[in-house]
Structure formats: structure tokens, C-alpha cells
A and B are shown apart, each in its own frame.
Chain A
Amino acid sequence: MRRRLLNWVLGVGSVVAFVGALVMVFLYAPREATMGEIQRIFYFHVASAWVGFFGFFITFVSGALFLARSERRWDILGLSSAEVGLAFITMVLITGSLWARPVWGTFWTWEPRLTISAVQWLLYVAYVMLRTSTTSQERVARFAAVYGIVAFVTVPLSWFAIRWWRTIHPQILAGGEMALTPRMLQTLLVSLAAFTLVYATLVRQRVHLEEARDRLAGLQAG
């Protein structure tokens, strides 16, 4: 019963926080000077990026714990976080494109943060594909854990490499920076909290789904 209560709390909390964030994004946050209304997508864009990276981190940690302890629950957490994280990183790329078009006239820029998100997206997709392509469940859990660890470890290095690459080839399209007023910062923090709650809810649901699958398999076998 505690589980159901927590589910309920998380679910309701996510909805409330999300609605709150929406209200703040559209009504409370100021209209940005140079970019106009489209700038409001920034809050969802950054929140998604943060959650996407966080999901990666959780997959990394659960992978390490799984290798150390061989407990199925770490494997389940890793795969759940990866699937949900992939969804959020996809949002980063989509919101990034939607934002880039009116501001810079092009759907894609090789801006460092967008580029690193693309790399993370590819790593996540590889992880998910890996999970579906092996017959032995126990082996795929180990493979995925190892990949999750190695992939995460290369992301900071990728970030530096991409940044330096972009600084020696500065884009013709400048003006990606904006000053954050206090109201904008508050809106951003609320968005961050809302997205994190949504992430937690989704991961929890995915974990429950996988646990139910395990129970079914156990019943079918025995």
C-alpha cells in the first residue's frame, strides 16, 4: 500500500509541478527582448537537457552497482532510466530545433550544447538497441551495464572536445546567450523540478512494468 501511496504522490506532484511550470513559463516569466515569445521554449529545453543527463548518470550508477552485486533491481533501474532519459534527450533535440529556426533561420546549429545532446542521444539509442538484441537476459544485463558505464565516462570528454571545436570555428550565427533575470531563474528552477518529478514518475512506472514482467515469467516457468 505504501507503494501505491508513493505512486499517487509522485503522479499528483508531477502534474501539479508541471502545471505550475507552465503557468510560470507563459505568464510569470518576462518576454525576452531579442528573441520574443519563442524564447520561452528555453525552459523546457534546458530542463529536458538536465533530466536527460541525470538519467544517464543514474544508468551509470545502476550499471556499476549491478556489476558489483548482480542484483536484478539495479539492472531494471538502469534500463528504465535509459528509456526515459532517451525520451527527454529527444525532447532536447526537438525543442532545440524549434527554437533555432525562428531565431537563427536554420533547424540545426552545431552549437556545443545541442551537439553534445545529439551524441548523448546516439549513446542512449545504442543502449536501448543493445538491450533488445541479445537472447540471454543475464548477459544483456551485464553488456548494458558495461556500455552504460563506458558511455557515461566519455561524455565529459566529448563535451570538452566539442566546445574547443566550436570555439576555433565560431559560428556565423551568434547571439545564443541571454541574461537571466531573477524571474527567469525562478521559472527555470520550477521547470527543472517539474521535469525531474515527471522523470521520477516515469522511471518508477517503467520499473514496476519490468518487475511485473519478471513475476509473470516466474509464474510461467514454475
Chain B
Amino acid sequence: MRTQNWARQVWAIVVKDIAAELHTREILSAMFVFAVTAMLTFSFALDLRGAVGRDAAPGVVWTTIAFAGTLGLSRSLAREQQTGGIAGLLLAAGDRTVIFFGKSLGNTAMLLILEIALLPLGTVLFDANLLRPEIVLVVILGTIGYAVAGTLLAAIAVNTRAREVMLPILLLPLIVPLMIPAVQATAGLLEGLALAEVNNWMRVLVVYDLLIVAVAMLTFEYVIEA
């Protein structure tokens, strides 16, 4: 009568997070407002008009995602902390990797939703076509790595005294092998290069994603247990 199915449990966690977000919408709205404010601030401060804007667009967009993302990641993990920590998940999940994949998938989806709003905004603001399918592919690959690393580190950060403040400190140096390739690939594609020509960068992104998923999967259980 009882069938604990790995995929079903992962999906249950994702559904739970979506349902909670649908009720409050506080994470997505906070991330979106922060991201828009950040992009506008960059535009004013660096006077990003015309060609300068087009050149700066990849960097500005990725930096914005990196910073706004920390808000969402922190809140997503903090939600588990609310009433008893992640204990409920630990009790019910047959296998610790269920929790890891469930939260990572949920966080990846949350970031992708943010990017669906951000890429058109960047396109309009900087007169650079960020909606090309090749660029979308780069964004997806970068987001996966970021979300996985971010989920692992947010699970740590939320248990420290500094909480949200700790996450950017931990996360940002760790995603250097993500940021550089993502920005360079996006910039190359914007200049008209074909996907094959930014191959080097794509490869680094894929290797990073695989590596970070492997390491996070192995170490996550040590982070969430009491």
C-alpha cells in the first residue's frame, strides 16, 4: 500500500515549493524587483547607452542574475527553516538525494522564471538581442550550475548567524568558472559568432554543471542533517 518512489518524492517537494510560492509570491516578486533595480542602477552608474550598453549587456545581465539569485535561494531555504528546520524532509525522504534534487529543481525553475522576465528587459534596455535561442541555451546551462551550487550553499548559510548575508560571500567566488564562460559566450553570440565558435566556453559550463551536481549530491546530506 505504501510505495516510496524517488521521482515521486522529488516531484512532491517541487510541487510543495510551487504551491507555497503561489500563495505568497514573495520570493519571485522580491527577486524581480531587485533585479530590475539592479539593472537600472548599472545603466545609470555606468552610463550604458548605445554601443557601450551593448558591450556591457552580457556582464550586466549575468551579474544581476548572480545577485538577485542569492535572494531567492536564501528565501527558498529559509522557508524550510521556519518551523523546525529541514527535519520534516529528513523524516519523510527515503533517500537524502531526494531532498537535494527536489530543492535544486525548484530553485532552478525559480531562477528560470526570473530570467524569462529579465532577458526581454535586457534586450530592450541595451538594444541587444538576448532572446536568441543560442543565448537562451547558455542561460539555461549557467542557471543549472548556479542553482545547484546555490542550493548547497544556501542550506549552509541559512544555519549561520549571518544568514542571508553569508550566501553571496560563499557563492560568488565559487561560480567564477560559470560567470566567465557565460558572459564570454553571451558576448560572442551577440557579436554574431555561431554556437560552434563559443564551444570552449560551452564546454566549461557543461563540465562545471556535471562537477557541481556530483559534488553537491555527495555532500548535501552532511549539510542538512542536524
Contacts and interface: CB of A to CB of B under 8 A. Distances in A.
Interface in A137-161: 139, 142-143, 145-147, 149-151, 153-154, 157-158, 160-161
Given A126-B170, A134-B160, A134-B161, A67 B176 contact: no
B177 A67 contact: no
Interface residues of A, number: 30
A38 interface: no
A119 interface: yes
Contact of B166 (A130, A154, A157, A162): A130
B149 A150 contact: yes
A162 B156 CA distance: 27
Contact of A161 (B152, B156, B160, B177): B177
Given A145-B222, A157-B207, A151 B174 contact: yes
A153 B166 contact: no
Interface in A73-107: none
A157 to B, nearest CB: 4
A25 to B, nearest CB: 32
A133 B162 contact: yes
B170 A157 contact: no
Interface string B17-29: 0000000000000
Contact of B176 (A135, A143, A162, A168): A162
A145 B211 CA distance: 17
Contacts of B173: 119, 122-123, 126, 151
Contacts of B181: 161
Given A139-B159, A147-B156, A130 B170 contact: yes
Contacts of A125: 169
Interface in B79-99: none
A139 B223 CA distance: 8
A145 B152 CA distance: 13
Contacts of A143: 156, 159-160, 223
Interface string B193-226: 0000000110010011001100110010011001
Given A149-B215, A161-B180, A164-B184, 19 more contacts: A67-B222, A119-B176, A122-B173, A123-B174, A125-B169, A126-B169, A143-B159, A143-B223, A146-B223, A147-B153, A147-B156, A147-B170, A149-B219, A154-B177, A154-B208, A157-B177, A157-B204, A158-B176, A164-B204
Interface of A: 67, 119, 122-123, 125-126, 129-130, 133-135, 139, 142-143, 145-147, 149-151, 153-154, 157-158, 160-162, 164-165, 168
18 contacts: A123-B174, A126-B169, A126-B170, A130-B156, A130-B160, A139-B226, A142-B222, A142-B223, A143-B156, A143-B160, A146-B222, A150-B152, A150-B212, A154-B212, A161-B176, A161-B181, A164-B201, A165-B180
